[in-house]
Chain A
């Protein structure tokens, strides 16, 4: 499948209004999930909000109160302004995507039947369900011809998680709840699933509540991060960069870890750093001219490039003699970065390099400019003073995405992982029990 222009996707805001969940002493003793203490939170439509904290802190309870698997003791949860408590629970749940850690796929149903669980409950006709299943399997990177008729037990853990996501998307719900959706797979598969899901979300723009106990995952996935502490108390709410830059309490600082400065670097990409100019000399060009140009800058090195402007290496300006510039004169090289490289990775490469300046190249490998340690620290200082707002972040992300073709990873299954937007058919207004066995 090829990427189609983004079809309009519905999303709804989710608002917690002084929501509290208390368990009585007996329930607590028998292992009830964590309590929640006066949670107020607004998740704007189309954003990913990550609830993170240690086990028993109430993050999963908060999630399950949205689709009323758990009823709040007090307070309200509003979906697009409508109190969830006033809606029929079954209707409410069919309108909310739900992904859980162990996937909860139905072992006795084929992958296809699993994917169209909610459409079947809503009474879609067979042809439409088949088409929707094929579309969604393609979206999550599973070839329908290969996977549709299999059973969950025949899939790997990562493949099952993909099916879980496809199933949650089936009826195009405006809100998705994801409870440690990538928790049960190994770190490599997890990272790939995370990346794919973020790419998918760029097009779907669902409102997503995402629970994890992993702060790194929270920082990576969240537009908004809610840090919980024991007793269902919210310790801090904010965009990931703000939580890393300004932890609200010692607890948050400990929770995000002492390496939060480095973690924060992973939130920024080279594309955001203003590039420094480089004096260049093309192979076969005039050495004397390059030497004169270099004399006017404090930086004493000249970058030798090939005919296509691809960097070859550095040469000290004093070694450029009159005559033709040659690749043999190169004394040292620098790491090559592209605009999607995170500042964390860039910094790590600079620390390792001969010359502590990174060369930013475009997709063809042609030079765009240079990044130094000073450029990176300057950017971080600027962001401390004025964090990027959501729109700017989205714009930067979109640019990155346009750039990301080379990053399209080889997928474990056959079939491209290229995300496409699902058709946004609203669920048929059918009798919910139409497909019920009498």
Chain B
């Protein structure tokens, strides 16, 4: 198997374009999915009976095979980006919803009681106490969702070149028996997954200096 490094050098712009498109396929569903899941999670912690049905529905959505979902949406949306964005978003819901709820539930009861007792209004408590304390579990969910999306976005490009991304490199490489292209597509997917995960770990550390303080004390 020959890797044609000259092809890589000549097509640098195409490759970077594919990476960028792939990121779009990950970031847009992740942001939209987080927004929806956050709303559902806040609703579920206020109204515990919401939790069960939401888990069932997001669970069913998660079960739909990805390729089938993409194929079924083509008649509805044509070959627009929505065909990729809609299923990719729904795949994040189960992971993000459950993790955000777990994040809120992990906030110690006495902290909430102290916040209420000192006169936080409900929204102030949510934004200034519950949200920052839920961050570690939320980001754990985001990492999981992001890595899942990077894999699924590769599948999306099987449907057509309009979605682009690293899957496009793989599909085209396989179709034209051009190993350089599909190996590169595969390697870059893996690298992208690691890079995104590392970036999110960094974000978590920056957002939770207090958690590091705790770890230092425990280690000391």
Contacts and interface: CB of A to CB of B under 8 A. Distances in A.
Contacts of A200: none
Interface string B103-140: 00000101101111111110110011100110000000
Contacts of A103: 110, 114
A98 B213 contact: no
Interface in B62-121: 108, 110-111, 113-121
A94 B118 contact: yes
A90 interface: yes
A172 to B, nearest CB: 14
B188 to A, nearest CB: 37
Interface residues of B, number: 26
Most buried by B among A64, A98, A118: A98
Nearest to B216: A154
B213 A69 contact: no
B210 A93 contact: no
A96 B116 CA distance: 12
B114 A98 contact: yes
Given A90-B121, A93-B116, A151-B210, A102 B133 contact: no
Interface string A220-235: 0000000000000000
A107 interface: yes
Contact of A108 (B113, B114, B118, B132): B132
B124 A104 contact: no
A121 interface: yes
A437 interface: yes
A104 B113 contact: yes
A280 interface: no
A117 B119 CA distance: 9
B208 interface: yes
B217 interface: yes
Contacts of B128: 437
Given A150-B213, A151-B210, A436-B124, A104 B114 contact: yes
A105 interface: yes
Contacts of B113: 69, 100, 104
Given A106-B129, A108-B132, A151-B214, A121 B119 contact: yes
A121 B120 contact: yes
B118 A154 contact: no
Contacts of B120: 90, 121
Q: State which size class the interface on A falls in.
A: 20 to 34
A152 B110 CA distance: 14
A94 B110 CA distance: 17
A117 B121 contact: no
Contacts of B133: 106-108
A109 interface: yes
A433 B217 CA distance: 36
B124 A100 contact: no
A153 B119 contact: no
Contacts of A437: 124, 127-128
A118 B118 contact: yes
A108 B214 CA distance: 10
Nearest to B218: A153
Nearest to A97: B118
A433 B214 contact: no
A84 to B, nearest CB: 13
A98 B118 contact: yes
A102 B114 CA distance: 10
Contacts of B213: 150-151, 153-154
A411 interface: no
B108 A102 contact: yes
A67 interface: yes
A121 B110 CA distance: 19
B210 A69 contact: no
B121 A433 contact: yes
Interface in A87-141: 89-94, 96, 98, 100-109, 117-118, 121
A109 B210 contact: yes
A152 B213 CA distance: 9
Nearest to A110: B210
Contacts of B123: 436
A69 B116 contact: yes
Contacts of A121: 118-120, 124
Most buried by A among B123, B133, B213: B213
Across chains A and B, which 8 residue pairs bring their CB atoms closest together, nearest first? Answer: A104-B114, A94-B119, A153-B214, A93-B119, A98-B117, A151-B213, A104-B110, A102-B110
15 contacts: A90-B121, A91-B119, A94-B118, A98-B118, A104-B108, A104-B111, A104-B114, A106-B111, A107-B210, A107-B214, A151-B214, A153-B213, A436-B123, A437-B127, A437-B128
